[in-house]
């Protein structure tokens, strides 16, 4: 049996990037190690995992994951001394560092400017990237000294790959990994055959031509937070006419250059924000004063979405030509673009496209641990539930309610599913807090806000009164897997358990669930089985039996800018600080005093 602790996060990352690269304010997420977390794999089985943000309450934190490490070990009844290997989700090898140094040496600027960049790289390397820095960081925070041979560094893209590979059940598969940047590259492709990973190196994209970083600059241009709000751009693009408004795509004409072999080039460095803003203003015929115009923002967002679709389709076509495997694992931050995922599935020729609940950087802690276990010869054990984090029992819930005595009232429900379904018949918003915390950026039915989708204005109610976010944002439906194809046009998919694909609503159900459909008639669905989440499946069955409505709105239990709630106290605080109508906290129905 091999016990592997996977982790991601740099304690000094935020300070170093703020000092050297001004990564603060709107750019505060543009650094290495964000979405820190920890995962424990025992004998090939993912035993526990939690994101550090759920415990320190700092969204997308890059902090050293001390709380997460402590929790996963406590959950398994283990100590640091029991761990056989410590898997860190970054590897800054000599090859990587040589490439980074060469980029500086070959780049524009004077000798003094280049030496300044080298000094910054040296500071970052010594403070974060070197093995000595990783070992020192771990010992400083935990008091435990890892024997150097027990620290296994895993290339960031391979950690992404092994997260998706393990969660999807392993087996032979082609893969595409695309994110902002790993150590040096921004995208890789290849295949896993017979358990052996083969990267097609000539098709890799270096970070100077990062599609995801360009999408982040567009996100910033539209007034959102880069490396955080890209999904808002995807949603905003849905307001455009299907062919774009007006015809033509300035990004495809002036920015993205497709090349042979599935590669592409982007003419400006992704950090050159000012140059990009000037370019975008020119090609879209606007200026700083016109960037707030909704029609322009929709046009830019739709063009950006189409650019992502064209670039990834170009990569996947090249991958299909080199690998005859019928299945694709797609991971990395760009794989959270669920509109693109569905098009890849339906148009690429693959029988299956798999995108996990850990596709973005929360998943690399899992993937690093899976990678080391796989190399050690352990078979990765499917299925891998997303419900991997802390669970709080009746005693903890009672204690939390006692702390809020005078502000809330509560009673024990005789039948949690049936009585919650009865509440949801009306135009109400219900906080739903059950079982173990989900892993990843989506609420998957245990830390959720629920509502009845038959009310067309329920989206406005949740956006303005609960979530405090932009009014154009859509909401996702949660539906029983066995009836999902009757409600949504699922194409090749029969299951979508992680909200990573979108599907058109079947014509017969369009009028029944207006609150769960985007303006373009699609929904980013989560399918649920009785085996995977028995209580949620029971609630859905009871709700449908009472109302004839086949799904519920499911959005994450938080407000804008905050992590999804974890502990009962956080659920109660969120409930009290919003206009939620009810909170179902375990077996307790909570109302405001």
Q: pLDDT in tens for each of the 593 residues of the chain?
A: 799 999 999 888 777 767 756 666 666 656 677 899 999 999 999 999 999 999 999 999 999 999 999 999 999 999 999 999 999 999 999 999 998 899 889 888 899 999 998 998 898 899 889 999 999 999 999 999 999 999 999 999 999 999 999 999 999 999 999 999 899 899 999 999 999 999 999 999 998 899 999 999 999 999 998 888 898 999 899 888 765 445 689 999 999 999 999 999 998 776 678 889 999 999 999 988 888 899 999 999 999 999 999 999 999 999 999 999 999 999 999 999 999 999 999 999 999 999 999 999 999 999 999 999 999 999 999 889 999 999 999 999 999 999 999 999 999 999 999 999 999 999 999 999 999 999 999 999 999 999 999 999 998 899 888 887 787 788 899 999 999 999 999 999 999 999 999 999 999 999 999 999 998 999 999 999 999 999 999 999 999 999 999 999 999 999 988 999 999 999 999 999 999 999 999 999 999 99
- SS3 for 447-502, per residue? EEEEECCCCCCHHHHHHHHHHCCCCCCCCEEEEECCCHHHHECCCCCCCCCCCCCC
Q: How many residues does the chain have?
A: 593
* 8 A C-beta contact, residue 84 and residue 44: no
Tokens representing 305 are 């979405």
Tokens representing 203 are 């098709």
pLDDT of residue 131: 95
**Number of C-beta neighbours around residue 82 at 10 A:** 12
> Cα(9)–Cα(31) distance, rounded to whole angstroms?
10
Identical topology for domains 203-354 and 394-592: no
DSSP 263-329: -EE-SS-TT-HHHHHHHHHHHHT--GGGTT-HHHHHHHHHHHHHHHHHHHHHHHHHHHHH---SEEE
**Number of C-beta neighbours around residue 396 at 10 A:** 15
pLDDT of residue 593: 92
> Cα(189)–Cα(197) distance, rounded to whole angstroms?
10
Query: Phi, psi (5° rounding) for residue 352?
Result: -140, 140
pLDDT of residue 475: 86
Question: Could you tell me the CATH superfamily of domain 3-168+360-375?
Answer: ATPase, nucleotide binding domain (3.30.420.40)
> Cα(173)–Cα(176) distance, rounded to whole angstroms?
10
- Kind and range of the H or E element at 237? helix 230-237
* 8 A C-beta contact, residue 439 and residue 362: yes
Residue 149's alpha-carbon distances to 85, 145, 242, in angstroms, are 8, 12, 55
**Number of C-beta neighbours around residue 567 at 10 A:** 18
pLDDT of residue 242: 64
Query: Does the bond joining 246 to the residue before it have cis omega, within 30 degrees of 0?
Result: yes
Which residues neighbour 494 within 8 Å (Cβ) at sequence distance 6 or greater?
A: 481, 484, 485
Into which CATH architecture does domain 203-354 fall?
2-Layer Sandwich (3.30)
pLDDT of residue 466: 86
pLDDT of residue 246: 54
E runs forming strands in 506-587: 522-523, 526-528, 551-556, 582-585
> Cα(364)–Cα(393) distance, rounded to whole angstroms?
29
Name the residue with tokens 């499917």: 382
Query: Phi, psi (5° rounding) for residue 88?
Result: -105, 135
Into which CATH architecture does domain 394-592 fall?
Alpha-Beta Complex (3.90)
Which class for 373: exposed (0-12), middle (13-18), buried (19 or more C-beta within 10 A)?
A: buried
Spell out the domain ranges in the chain.
3-168+360-375, 203-354, 394-592
**Number of C-beta neighbours around residue 278 at 10 A:** 13
* 8 A C-beta contact, residue 166 and residue 367: yes
**Number of C-beta neighbours around residue 137 at 10 A:** 19
Query: Phi, psi (5° rounding) for residue 3?
Result: -105, 120
**Predicted model pTM:** 0.95
pLDDT of residue 243: 54
């Amino acid at each position: 049996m091999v016990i592997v602790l996977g982790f991601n996060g740099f304690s000094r990352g935020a300070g170093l990037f703020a000092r050297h690269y001004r990564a603060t304010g709107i750019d505060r997420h543009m650094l290495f190690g964000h979405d820190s977390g920890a995962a424990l794999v025992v004998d090939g089985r993912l035993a526990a995992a939690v994101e550090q943000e759920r415990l320190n309450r700092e969204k997308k934190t890059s902090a050293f994951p001390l709380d997460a490490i402590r929790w996963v070990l406590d959950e398994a009844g283990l100590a640091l001394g029991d761990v056989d290997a410590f898997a860190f989700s970054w590897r800054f090898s000599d090859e990587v560092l040589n490439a980074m140094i060469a980029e500086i040496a070959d780049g524009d600027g004077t000798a003094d400017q280049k030496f300044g960049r080298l000094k910054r790289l040296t500071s970052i390397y010594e403070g974060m990237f070197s093995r000595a820095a990783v070992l020192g960081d771990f010992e400083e925070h935990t008091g435990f000294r890892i024997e150097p041979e027990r620290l296994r560094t895993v290339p960031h893209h391979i950690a992404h790959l092994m997260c998706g590979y393990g969660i999807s059940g392993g087996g032979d598969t082609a893969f595409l990994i695309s994110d902002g940047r790993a150590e040096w590259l921004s995208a890789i492709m290849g295949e896993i055959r017979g358990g052996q990973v083969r990267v097609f190196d000539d098709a890799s994209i270096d970070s100077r031509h990062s599609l995801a970083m360009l999408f982040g600059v567009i996100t910033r241009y539209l007034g959102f937070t880069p490396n955080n709000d890209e999904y808002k751009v995807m949603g905003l693009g849905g307001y455009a006419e299907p062919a774009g408004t007006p015809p033509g795509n300035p990004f495809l004409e002036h920015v993205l250059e497709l090349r042979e072999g599935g590669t592409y080039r982007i003419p400006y460095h992704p950090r050159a924000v000012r140059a990009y803003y000037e370019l975008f203003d020119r090609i879209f015929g606007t200026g700083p004063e016109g960037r707030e115009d909704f029609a322009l923002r929709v046009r830019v967002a739709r063009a950006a979405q189409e650019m992502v679709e064209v670039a990834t389709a170009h990569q996947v076509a090249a991958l299909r030509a080199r690998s005859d495997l019928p299945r694709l694992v797609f991971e990395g931050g760009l794989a959270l673009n669920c509109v693109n995922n569905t098009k890849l599935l339906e148009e690429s020729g693959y029988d299956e496209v798999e995108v996990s609940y850990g596709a973005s950087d929360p998943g690399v802690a899992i993937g690093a641990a899976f990678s080391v276990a796989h190399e050690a010869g352990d078979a990765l054990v499917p299925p891998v539930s997303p419900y991997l984090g802390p669970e709080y029992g009746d005693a903890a819930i009672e204690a939390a309610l006692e702390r809020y005595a005078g502000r809330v009232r509560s009673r024990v429900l005789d039948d949690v599913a049936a009585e919650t379904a009865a509440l949801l018949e009306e135009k109400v918003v219900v906080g739903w807090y059950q079982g173990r915390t989900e892993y990843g950026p989506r609420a998957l039915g245990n830390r959720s806000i629920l509502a009845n989708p038959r009310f067309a204005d329920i989206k406005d109610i949740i956006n303005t009164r609960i979530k405090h976010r932009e009014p154009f944002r859509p909401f996702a439906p949660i539906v029983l897997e066995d009836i999902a194809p009757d409600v949504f046009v699922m194409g090749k998919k029969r299951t979508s358990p992680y909200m990573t694909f979108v599907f058109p609503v079947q014509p017969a159900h369009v009028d029944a669930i207006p609150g769960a459909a985007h303006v373009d008639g699609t929904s980013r669905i989560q399918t649920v089985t009785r085996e995977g989440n028995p209580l949620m499946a029971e609630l859905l069955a009871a709700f449908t039996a009472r109302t004839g409505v086949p799904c519920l709105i499911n959005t994450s239990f938080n407000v804008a800018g905050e992590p999804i709630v974890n502990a009962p106290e956080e659920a109660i605080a969120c409930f009290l600080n919003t206009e939620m109508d009810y909170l179902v906290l375990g077996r307790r129905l909570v109302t405001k005093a």
